Amino acid sequence: MRKILLTAGLLLSSTQIALAGPHYHGSHGGSPLPDESPETLPVLIVGASFANGKAPFDGDLSSPLLGLSVGTGQYISLGDALIRNRTHSGYVVNEAQASATTFARESCRTALYAGGCSTAETDSYQTQVLRASSRVYSLASGAYNAEYVVVTAPNDCLHSDAFGLPESDAKQCDEEDMQDVADRMVEIGQLVIGLGMTPVFAPYPDVSTIDLELFRQSSLLEWTISPTDYQMLNNIVMTTLASDLPDALIIDYWAEYAHIGDGIHPDLATVENAADMILEGIGYNVIAEHPRNNGRGHKHGHHHRDGHNKRHNRR
């Protein structure tokens, strides 16, 4: 079993967040003059229900979770919020799938499948990245017409229906399992970088802003991860990403967080704020036009994209 220096890792993560503010690393110097119009490129997004509230259907209308959607269709995901954000003109390619894990798997929720599993699967994060990148591939240049891929948190280890096994057989993740999740996220980041783009990650929402027991009840799960293990998972994943992927961009866009009432999924003000922070973090001139609920939300300045193009620099 790999030995994890959790205390040191936690201190490292806390220090990075404190020093970097909304993002850990990555700079945007050399801003263009105010009258310049920066090129607007598509933003790719992959992940699970934070990024897309809809479970996928296959050709036979079979679906993990029977095709359910978060909030029965009344949920604005981060992918939706990025499309709605006027700063970026709606150029978003969203290949995320609700309930997804880093690996492809069936849903085996007892409440839906009575001890069995779905015939359809959610796609792995690798498949999602390859699908998203194919949408922006140029036959003429052989390059990808995008610079950034937002990779949201997976369901791995979070609950009893995250293993592709009947819930009665699913066991809570131990420290080694959590490190495996972190390693798979690093592999996704390496894939994105290998395609000439930059992966964008975020720490999980703070445990104090979610309700894991309410999440279990609202989603009819047999168990959800404990608050202590949730914090451990976040620490292991984020410390590993920061250490192993120095070229990745980590933006703490869930720093201001409230859920929609189901214990876990972000509300409208949260995702709008997160979208602003992502676009600002990757270099767009963000001017928040939507009102903030209860005074929550990030205060945005004028931040233009810089002149460098990482796609071409890496090729």
Does residue 217 surpass a pLDDT of 70? yes
Residue type, 25: H
Buried b (16+ CB within 10 A) or exposed e, 24-62: bebebeebeeeeeeeeebbbbbbbbbbbbbbbbeeeeee
Q: Give mean pLDDT, residues 93-111.
A: 95
**Alpha carbon distances (Å) from 248 to 25, 193, 195, 297, 310:** 8, 8, 13, 25, 12
pLDDT band at 286 (very low <50, low <70, confident <90, very high): confident
Q: Is residue 1 part of a domain?
A: no
Does residue 24 surpass a pLDDT of 80? no
Question: Which candidate, 271, 303, 277, 248, places its Cα nearest to that of 16?
Answer: 248
CATH at residue 89? 3.40.50.1110
Q: Is residue 55 part of a domain?
A: yes
Question: CA 233, 238, 244, 245: dihedral to nearest 10 degrees?
Answer: 140
* Residues 6+ away with beta carbon under 8 Å from 307: 30, 32
* Residues 6+ away with beta carbon under 8 Å from 258: 209, 266, 267, 269, 270, 293, 296
Q: Is residue 237 part of a domain?
A: yes
9-23 per-position pLDDT tens digit: 444 444 343 334 333
Which range has the worst mean pLDDT, 27-36, 94-103, 268-277?
A: 27-36
Angle (deg, nearest 10), helices 175-194 and 125-135? 20
> What's the pLDDT score for residue 255?
97
Q: CB count, 10 Å around CB of 187?
A: 14
Q: Is residue 315 part of a domain?
A: no
* CA–CA gap between residue 289 and residue 309 (Å, rounded): 28
Does residue 263 surpass a pLDDT of 90? yes
pLDDT band at 231 (very low <50, low <70, confident <90, very high): very high
> What's the pLDDT score for residue 298?
42
Cα separation of the two ends of the chain: 38
Does residue 171 surpass a pLDDT of 90? yes
Dump strand ranges (E) for the chain: 43-46, 92-94, 105-106, 121-122, 148-151, 198-201, 249-250
In the chain, the number of structural domains is: 1
pLDDT band at 88 (very low <50, low <70, confident <90, very high): confident
* Contact assessment for residue 188 and residue 150, using Cβ atoms and an 8 Å cutoff: no
Percent of the chain at pLDDT > 70 equals: 72
Residue type, 84: R
Does residue 200 surpass a pLDDT of 50? yes
Residue type, 63: S
> What's the pLDDT score for residue 59?
55
Q: Is residue 30 part of a domain?
A: no
Q: Is residue 194 part of a domain?
A: yes
Q: Is residue 282 part of a domain?
A: yes
| Displacement of CA 263 from its chain's centroid (Å) | 17
Q: Is residue 29 part of a domain?
A: no
Q: Which residue has the tokens 């990025």?
A: 82
189 versus 68: which is more confidently predicted? 189
pLDDT band at 295 (very low <50, low <70, confident <90, very high): very low
What are the backbone angles phi and psi of residue 11, rounded to the nearest 5°? -65, -40
Q: Give mean pLDDT, residues 207-211.
A: 98
> What's the pLDDT score for residue 288?
64
Does residue 50 surpass a pLDDT of 70? yes
| Displacement of CA 275 from its chain's centroid (Å) | 11
Q: Which domain holds residue 289?
A: 6-24+36-310
* CA–CA gap between residue 179 and residue 259 (Å, rounded): 27
* Contact assessment for residue 17 and residue 241, using Cβ atoms and an 8 Å cutoff: no
Q: Give mean pLDDT, residues 217-234.
A: 97
Q: Give mean pLDDT, residues 25-33.
A: 35
- Name the average pLDDT for the chain: 81
